Every structure is written in structure tokens, then in C-alpha cells.
Amino acid sequence: MTKIRVLVIDDAVVVRRIVSDVLAADAELEVVGTAANGKIGLAKIPQVNPDVITLDIEMPEMDGLETIVEIRKLYPRLPVIMFSTLSERGATATLDALARGANDYVTKPANVGSVAAAQQSLRDQLIPKIKALCSKSELSNPVLARSLPAKKTVQPVPKIQPISQARPSSAMQSAISILTIGVSTGGPNALCEILPAIPKDFPVPIVIVQHMPPMFTKLLADRLDKQSQIRVHEGAVGDAVLPGNAYIAPGNYHMVVKRDGAKTVLALNQAPPENSCRPAVDVLFRSVVDLYGAGTLGVILTGMGQDGLRGCERIREANGQILAQDEESSVVWGMPGFVAKAGLADEILPLHQIALNIVRRVQKIPSTIEAKRIVASCT
């Protein structure tokens, strides 16, 4: 069996040892080198030919942000997972690293009480992400790590029988009353492409689950708000759900929509995780369908796992509409892959076409040229 080769770059000796021990204990992984800063790490890449790199953000001499820029110049397809502290500074740096080309991130175990707890945290967070990002078909050929385009990975998708109910024609489909989006790995960059392309007068509200911890979701919402013509907020209890506004579920809380008299508002809860996630896409999608039925447009973007699959089944049963990101443009084709293979999506689209299709469907624009003009005017 070909093992996944991992290079660990971190200035802390203790962290390098804990990460190395955790990874080495997995039969599918092999730590082929460690480095105390980005400069040393860059020199080691051609020596050890890693399949994936774990990269600390705060390091002396060459930090993680500088290092990811250099890695992307030389190795556009080499997966990189950032190590981040669970702090405002760490969250800001992580979003910067993702914007510079990092594939994913994990938060460093902090205040977990013991080395054993720290190790378990890494097993739960880091190992699944390494395996999802590494396509084993390419492991024996490190030269591929230098080639374009950026590396994409596909998660195994089981055979799921599509719902047999016939799809109504586009002319018969209900007007869209709300847009709901589910996304995970690769999501911040995907959202940074879609939301700034939505026009200011967008006639329906947008509700989003991006799998991220607390504080990260607030900073992501603030960043997107500055880049977009619509307003983007981190969701809060009692927020009125309004057209031309997007609401991102806060980390560690499920977000749902509910009626409050004549208004639709947001509610948050800390019910058990679903699909190992809180917030969970399925939780949000179910609540949206309960209120909006066939007026729901669901969009499933890049991400690990299958969160959103059951929610899309509910949208499909209600005769709502579903778009899924395609394999080639996804960082990990897990979430959209499950929806696509289940036969639930109306269209499976590359990322750069999703905003255009959202605008066309919501505003019922028959002309692709006109829809392109609206989207282009936003950017």
C-alpha cells in the first residue's frame, strides 16, 4: 500500500513531535520530514517529495503566509493544511492563508488538558483532511505536484437511488423565495467568488452554512461584507431574514429559519452535531424547506463528507431547485458529489458559473447575456 507522505512545518518542537506521532500511528500515513520554519520547509520539499504539507502560521524567519505564497509558485497542486490558533488573530491569518492558496486548516489543540487529548483532537481533525485532500492515484508521481491546475480531490460516493418523482419543467417551477447554501472545505474562496457577484437589489434572502469554528465565521462574514454589494452578516438570534442580505451560521451553533408573526427570523441552537458538524447544512436546509417549500433554491459547494445530502432530498421532495458544484472546480468533491450522484441536482456547474445561474433562476432572466451583464456589473 502506498502511504501518504507528510511534511510537517512548525517552529514548536512539541507540536512537531505530537503531530508526527499521531500521523505515524496511522497505517496510511508517513511523516517524511519536519521543518522549524518556512524557509527550511521549502528547501525540504524537493528532497522528501511530500504528498501534503501541514504548515504553521506563526513562525520565525519565514511565516506560514509567506511560505504558502512561495509553495504555490512552485507547487500549485501540492495540498497544504494550515495550523491555526483559535483566536481572532489566528482566524484572520487563516482566512488570509486560504486566500493565498492553502487548501484547508485545522485549529491547534488548546486547553485540552493532556497530551492524549491533544493527540485525539488531531486524529479527529487532521487525519480525515489529509486523506480527503490526497488522491492516491497521484501519490507515486510527485512531479504532478508541480503542474497546473490546482489539485482537486474526489471522495468515494456510494450508490444512492435518486428520488423517483418527476422533475417539473423550468417553466412550471415555483418562484424562488430564498437561497440557501451549504459549503465546507474550500468554502471561503468559493463564497468569495459567488457573493460579490450577487447584485445589490437581489430580491430574496440568502442563508449559509460554512463549516467553521466560532470567531472564524464572524471574520469571514465581515470580509465578505466588504467585498459584496449585498450585506453579509454572521447570523444572530432574532435577525430578520431580508432580501439582499446573506446570513452565515455562527460556529458551534445550528442555524434555522422560523416564523415570527409576519416575519421570518433566525434562530440558533446547540442541539447535537449532525454529520459530525455544528452548524450543519442539513439542519438549515430542513428548516428552510419547512417554511419556503418549492420556493427554495439550494446550492451545495465544495466540501468533505455528505452534509447537505438529506437536506437536498427534502428540497427535491418539495419541488425546490438545487445546484451542485462540479468535481473539477471543487477542492473536495464530497458534499456536492453525494448530491450529484444521488440525482438530486438540477444542474452541476463549475464554480465560475454558479453565481450566474443563481441570478438567472432567482430573477427568472431568460437571457444568459442579460444575466451575465448583471453579474459582471457587480465585480
Instruction: Please identify every residue annotated as catalytic.
Output: 184, 211, 307
Terminal Cα distance for the chain, rounded: 47
Q: How far apart are CA 49 and CA 37, in angstroms?
A: 17
CA atoms within 13 A on the CB side of 373: 6
Helix (H, G, I), strand (E, B) or coil at 41: helix
Helix (H, G, I), strand (E, B) or coil at 328: coil
Q: How far apart are CA 323 and CA 179, in angstroms?
A: 11
Q: How far apart are CA 203 and CA 189, in angstroms?
A: 24
Among residues 339, 356, 276, the alpha carbon closest in space to that of 302 is found at 339
Q: How far apart are CA 99 and CA 279, in angstroms?
A: 23
Specify the DSSP class assigned to residue 359: H
CA of 3: how far to CAs of 50, 78, 89, 133, 353, in Å? 10, 16, 34, 14, 36
Beta bridge partners of 3: none
CB 103 within 8 A of CB 185: yes
